[in-house]
Chains A and B, each alone.
Chain A
Amino acid sequence: MALTPNDVADLARLARIELTPGELAHLAPQLDAILEAVARVSEVAAADIPPTSHPLPLANVFRADVVRPSLPREAVLAGAPAAEDDRFRVPRILGEDA
């Protein structure tokens, strides 16, 4: 398998986590060892076994379509890193090359 620091950098980009070269070098062998250990699940011959995604036999749960009070705007924006004009303020969404 041998996960390289480059592979980890690709995964970190997908997961939106900036990692330093030091972190990549430290993480790669650790993740490799974990993947090797968990790959044991492939030993189970499982062609005819249905997957379980959840411990309960779940069906959609519906509630009555009635208006309920929501959280006040100030309460929600109080936890925001930045707010402006009663809205979340976010950094620009498009990059320089867009």
Chain B
Amino acid sequence: MSDVRTTDDLTRATAADLASAIASGDVSSVEVTQAHLDRMAAVEPAVHAFLHVDGERALAAAAEVDAARSAGQALGPLAGVPVALKDVLTYAGAPTTAGSKVLQGWVPPYDATVTRRMLDAGLVILGKTNLDEFAMGSSTENSAYGPTHNPWDLDRIPGGSGGGSAAALAAFEAPLAIGTDTGGSIRQPASVTGTVGIKPTYGGTSRYGLVALASSLDQPGPCARTVLDAALLHAVIAGHDPLDSTSVDAPVPDVVSAARSGDVRGLKVGIVRELGGEGYAPGVEQRFREAVDVLTDLGAEIVEVSCPSFTYALPAYYLILPSEASSNLAKFDGMRFGLRAGDDGGHDAEEVMGLTREAGFGAEVKRRIILGTYALSSGYYEAYYGQAQKVRTLVTRDFEAAFAQVDVLVSPSTPTTAFRLGEKVDDPLAMYLNDLCTIPSNLAGNASASFPVGLAPEDGLPVGLQVMAPPLADDRLYRVGAALERALEERWGGPLLARAPELVLRPELVEGGPQ
């Protein structure tokens, strides 16, 4: 462990180091929390990772952790460490917007299970992070509150839908963040920001208090700058929850030990043949191949594996997701919560619903609801939704066949590095291709993660490697991620994010001004 006091900035420290320093009294949680709030004040005007900053409650929660430590109480492994929460999970007392105008100003009366577990573990919630509206998108440009900017290049997208959480990490505004992953919304942002993102096995983390997009695909998970930090957060939020009827009643895989071990000797790693080639940026393929070579050097056995049905995963996903979304989003009808438009005494309830949804939903949400309505219409149901469900079976079978041969599968996390803001905003099909590699794991429900493996030579932007593991074998993700992190950081001479450009700070916004 490094002494966090000797680092130039508490915001650069890992969550694991911060927790140790807080537990030993080297630094207080209030100091750590204030350092992150100061950093947010300085860089938020440029990055816009947060939709809501909860500074007062964060400092109060930090003071409580400090008091508990002074009183000699035992602290959890992440007590006092700040975390950023994607604004699609409820936190009582703070607004939950899901990036939509339809929920502007809505303050939920209850905590999501993920939120509750973090609060119980003494984590300090800094605020709510930006996302594509209802988590529909790969760039955060679909947020009704404006896009988030990638800290590596402010003119580029931070990925999506969880671009706010990923950018908060990459901009050193928070050491930990929570994301949700329906088709890649944790892994793709992690990939394009040089951070770590894990989609746990479906059912491994609770969806209670998550504003549902597609219930059979959505899964909350940890985001961090290091593999161990992600594992520590995973251990806090995961595990059976009686409030989510799809929650798996099984022990949480020992992800923390796996992250500390990083031993891949004898591990069988399959490269998915279908996830590469045409459409993949040369720098992405190069860094991916180099990372696979690192695994070989570390004693892993590499084979090529074919998953032919993966080529149908994207079209199947864009039938299943809109179908489920069109049903889930029916609750935003202007009656019990959120926006109501056109209630002028002249319009009846049905007209008010139509006017509310017209005013409250953005273009992508409307596109997907209408697409889902079409796919579920009688006459089209079998050809679209029914057929997509069969593809889902085939994708799952491909995974099963692959995992009979290998322990994990790998691919690039996303075909390209971060593209420019605005480049694909009105070209839905081009936007959808960002999730080409990540979608199969959502359809099958297995565990999956993205880890940084370098910068593409052509543009100097981060590249991610995706690891896919069988259901409930989430620990294997961390084993591979830790192995790569250790070997690559030795080669790079430090973490990848140390190479991110310094953001232009606005010292007049930092409390106390420049030192």
Contact = CB atoms under 8 A, between A and B. Distances in A.
Contacts, number: 172
Contacts of B109: 71-72, 75-76, 78-79
Given A16-B333, A38-B384, A44-B387, A91 B347 contact: yes
B312 interface: yes
B339 interface: yes
B160 interface: no
A76 B396 CA distance: 41
Interface residues of A, number: 54
A93 B348 CA distance: 6
A17 B354 contact: yes
A90 B340 CA distance: 10
B387 A41 contact: yes
B428 A30 contact: yes
A56 B246 contact: yes
B399 to A, nearest CB: 10
Nearest to A40: B315
B469 interface: no
Contacts of A67: none
A18 B202 contact: no
A37 B370 CA distance: 16
A44 B394 contact: yes
A16 B374 CA distance: 13
A44 B371 contact: no
Interface string A82-98: 10000010111111100
Contacts of B347: 91
What is the interface residue range for chain B against chain A?
Answer: 35 or more
Interface in A38-79: 38-44, 46, 49-56, 58, 61, 63, 71-72, 75-76, 78-79
A93 B457 CA distance: 61
Contact of B366 (A19, A40, A88): A19
A46 B366 contact: no
B383 interface: yes
A43 B311 CA distance: 11
B328 interface: no
Given A44-B312, A91-B343, A19 B374 contact: no
B443 A81 contact: no
By DSSP majority rule, is chain A's interface helix, strand, loop, or mixed? loop
Contacts of A14: 373, 377
Nearest to A79: B337
B110 interface: yes
A16 to B, nearest CB: 5
| Dominant SS among interface residues on chain B | helix
Interface in A13-44: 13-19, 23, 27, 30-31, 33-35, 37-44
Given A27-B367, A31-B371, A51-B390, A82 B358 contact: no
Contact of A55 (B353, B369, B396): B396
Nearest to B352: A91
B343 A31 contact: no
B445 interface: yes
B194 interface: no
B84 to A, nearest CB: 23
B299 to A, nearest CB: 32
Nearest to B202: A55
A18 B358 contact: yes
Contact of A56 (B248, B316, B318, B357): B248
A37 B429 CA distance: 8
A81 B354 contact: no
B392 to A, nearest CB: 4
Contacts of A34: 318, 367, 371, 428-429
Given A41-B388, A95-B350, A31 B367 contact: yes
Nearest to A43: B312
Given A81-B334, A91-B349, A91-B352, 19 more contacts: A15-B369, A16-B333, A18-B358, A30-B428, A31-B370, A37-B318, A39-B384, A41-B384, A42-B383, A44-B394, A50-B393, A51-B393, A55-B444, A79-B336, A80-B336, A81-B335, A81-B340, A81-B343, A95-B350
Interface of A: 8, 11-19, 23, 27, 30-31, 33-35, 37-44, 46, 49-56, 58, 61, 63, 71-72, 75-76, 78-82, 88, 90-96
